[in-house]
Amino acid sequence: MTNILAFTAEQVCSLTGLTKRQLRYWDDTGFFSPTTIDEDRARTFGRIYSFRDVVGLRVIGDLRRVRRVPLQELRKIGAWLAQHYDAPWSILRFALNGRRVVFADPATGVHREAHDGKQAVIEVTLEPIANDVKAAADKLSERRREDVGQIVRNRYVVHNAWVVAGTRISTASIWNFHRAGFDAKSIVSEYPRLTAKDVRAAVEFEGQLRKAA
């Protein structure tokens, strides 16, 4: 699993090749909605997508862009699948019969659409797509130079806890190691994504929080 567990619309666009306009339209019309939605969807973090969401959107984007499957066809299938499966676009095996999408029922392996025999069925394999998304997502999780030594928090990251920027490592966790007698080098060995500067910043931050409490 990728280090990133929640993706913004901007990140989804980068990973799938879709546009924010498409994401908004598909959400507003009920075709594909993200896992987490804020009441104010226009906010920066109003739409938060899971890894499965991203894989599903990548599949849909490829079917639209590469295979030229009409959106009407995808809407019809998506509506039916949503009644029967959880996150269907990211877990089912798909195939193409011309521009019609067929899929293998996970319980029986039988395709749910009848083939007319006139078109070759092309299998759409999800595993390579998921692996591509994971590799691209891992690159997104690489820390920027300006993140080092910075403390931030986000309501969708580690339940809104204060963390070291560019990671999901809470300052409280670092403080606990510090209180247990670990020095900066030892803490970095526990959390290889951190630097000594990160550790010092987290310890100083947590110390100030406790003084103010």
The string of pLDDT tens digits covering residues 105-146 is: 666 666 655 344 444 444 566 677 778 888 887 777 677 889
Q: How far is CA 54 from CA 61, 91, 149, 202, in A?
A: 10, 12, 30, 32
Q: What integer is the mean pLDDT of 84-109?
A: 66
**Could you count the other beta carbons within 10 Å of the beta carbon of residue 195?**
16
Mean pLDDT is highest, among 98-102, 116-120, 132-136, 163-167, for: 163-167
Q: What beta strand segments (E) does the chain contain? A: 36-37, 47-48, 93-97, 100-104, 121-124, 151-152, 163-164
Looking at residue 86, its pLDDT comes to 67
Q: Please indicate whether residue 79 or residue 27 has the higher confidence score (pLDDT).
A: 27
Q: What is the pLDDT of residues 22-36, one digit of tens each?
A: 999 999 998 888 877
Structural domains in the chain? 9-140 (1.10.1660), 145-212 (1.10.10.10)
- 202: pLDDT confidence band, cut at 50, 70 and 90? very high
Largest CA distance in the chain: 75
Residue 81 host element (H or E): helix 71-82
Closest residue by Cα to residue 9 from 22, 18, 21, 20:
20
Q: Which of the residue ranges 35-39, 59-63, 135-139, 177-181 would you say has the lowest mean pLDDT?
A: 35-39
